[in-house]
A and B are shown apart, each in its own frame.
Chain A
Amino acid sequence: MSRSIRFLCLASMLGFALVFMGAAKDAHKASPPARTRKPPVDAKIGVISIITGQGAGYGEAITNGFKLARDEVNAKGNVKIELVIEDSSGKQEQALAAAQKLINSSQVVAILGPTLSTEMKVVGPEANASGVPIMGTSTTAAGITQIGKYVFRNSLPESLAIPASVRKAVKKYNIRKVAILYGNDDVFTKSGFDSMKKASEDLKLDILTVETFQKGQADYKAQLTKIKNLSPDAVFCSALYEEGAVILSQARKIGIKTPFVGGNGFNSPKVIEIAKGAAEGLVVATPWFADRNTPKVTAFVARYEKAYGKKPDQFAAQAYDALYIMAEALGNAGKADRKLLRDSLAGIRNFDGVLGKFSFDAERDVVMEPNVLIIKGGKFQMFK
């Protein structure tokens, strides 16, 4: 059964490839120097997201971002996109089944999603083997695009975000000696710590001490007193906002006045809500900043709010940009073809989206300058 499907698949791919080669030749011959009106590129794009179950909140933001971008792209006219949305429930096996359905029966030209890095680890190889371009919009784990040359992502990994905020803070405050504090019982905060340590070593900073804490701890005074007495120029803190806000508050109370640099887990308005004035001076890097005053961002926020009644979060913004990247690549390819789309996607450079300037590197991973923010006057602001 599965062998015959695979054979069919291969055959259809071969067919596609042949047709495309012919078409490409034709295009070369036929394409006039000036771009005249071409018929729109019709493309069916599959979406795998978490629609039900735990994590459905992410899926909702992501699919909202896709739909809004689709409507805008279709209104412009040179690319017509149809979205085929499948639910993964955040489960690997369900995500894989959805991918097979999209690839084989819906015959999509590309896939957006899935939501989680763990899902991508099984869906990515399948799409890659079938020659279907796949782009994660929320997968931040290491090694995603290394799955294969059909696998892309536009979600900024922590390993890029943290060095950006560290670099900026070091330059601005002339930081030489740092103390690092991180939660050692969580994969996310642990990998954030690894990035902080590496960034510090790259910048030849003097790491005075590395302290740890655990989820739900109430009292951080022992670690903080120790840090205070070493008098660092800054504290790098890899924490989720629940613990992070309490740490900030207790640190300010015992008299640590240095800047704090945090990871993306720290990037939440909740930090200000919980820590109040103590949150001042926290520096974080994030791909998405809703209050960035560029016309693109303002327009997107307004349209999203009008359509869905709430402000877009990072996941919606990343999805929105991902669909636009797809549309641009389709436009460049001139044709809804999997192989052609892959090559054209891999060539995307300096795409101007709501997240800022975006490019794929040679490994189809993210190249972008994240927004570095600081909490000042009770809100997040651009850190200059």
Chain B
Amino acid sequence: MRKVCVAGVGMTKFGRSQKSSIEMFAEAAMEAIVGSSIKPADIQCLYFGNVYGDLEEGQTVMAPYAAREIGLSAGTPSLRFEGACASASVAIRDAFIAVAGGFYDLVLAGGTERELAMGTPLATRAFEMASEAYYEGYAGITFPGVFAMLARLYSKKYGVPLPKLKERMAMVAVKNHKNGAKNPLAQFRNEITVEEVLDGPMIAEPLQLLDCCPFTDGAAAIVITTEEKAKKMVKKPVYIRGVGQGSGAPLYRQKDFTLIESRVAAAKTAYAMAGIEPKDVDVVEIHDCFTIAEIVASECLGLFDFGTASEAVEKGETRIGGRIPINPSGGLKSKGHPIGATGAAQSYEIVKQLRGEFVERGTQVEGAKIGLTDTLGGDSATLVNIIYGIKG
């Protein structure tokens, strides 16, 4: 297996966009291509994440149109990857495999999504489609609903009273907004308080509005290549050290949803490939679609013992400057969550963290050498973990 690196990275401003999904992707892709000191024609394949293009814009088969939009040749394959909210991370992992295995030397991976085109009722329904449709969907379940049920399971299992857990969940939102406020590409750049979270409208009890990530438009892309090429393309290539992907069963088949089995398995694979342990990770972008989701994920990734992560949030261990900073970008909560692009945006953040580019922004994790992305699609159906490092 060859060593694989990320060269250039690109990302649009997240939020409400008047641009089409392809226009947004083109901006992110060209930033990544220009940042790699290559031309579009050098790209050998496009690995493209998108989920609801049909419902959002009446557009399916978006990958080839995106490929030709940015000037890839007629002979360049383009593939759409759909893993719900983890789509772009699925694309990045497969791009890694193709380059590591020697089939391609230069692949563009990323994704795009224009959720706000749907409006809240349809977007809520569209997201619900990532739950199992026959035996869950007819109950009118939503993702806030799934994670609301998780919060109660967690509270009961670990004996953290729900009011205490909710306060700590609110602290996750407060932390991520504090980081996002410094990120010019984030959707929400306002700081919030625990009181504001706890005073917010109820969405799915016990989750309130500010426990939930928003609907978002945006795109992100990264150029994935060999170590040899990357060293010629950029000053600071970042290595992809390990990847893992798991498949989760529908919610009703999970014996204990607080131990998200697809995540535990994916993380184990990624850590083993990278030859590291959770304690070696310096910075993490976690799939905080809901505040409780960040707490549970950080335990499944081995960053905290099971049942202790909410207390760690309260102690500030996940802040920038804490023991293990989580979501310095602002996370899905503040930065936004355009699901076809989210994984690539997480990778954008980690790559730049490892290059030390966020000092001026004030969100640099000092001396970060190893970073981890964690992306979840569906109830936990598609789970991808990617480990990046400044050394191979």
Q: Do A and B bind each other?
A: no
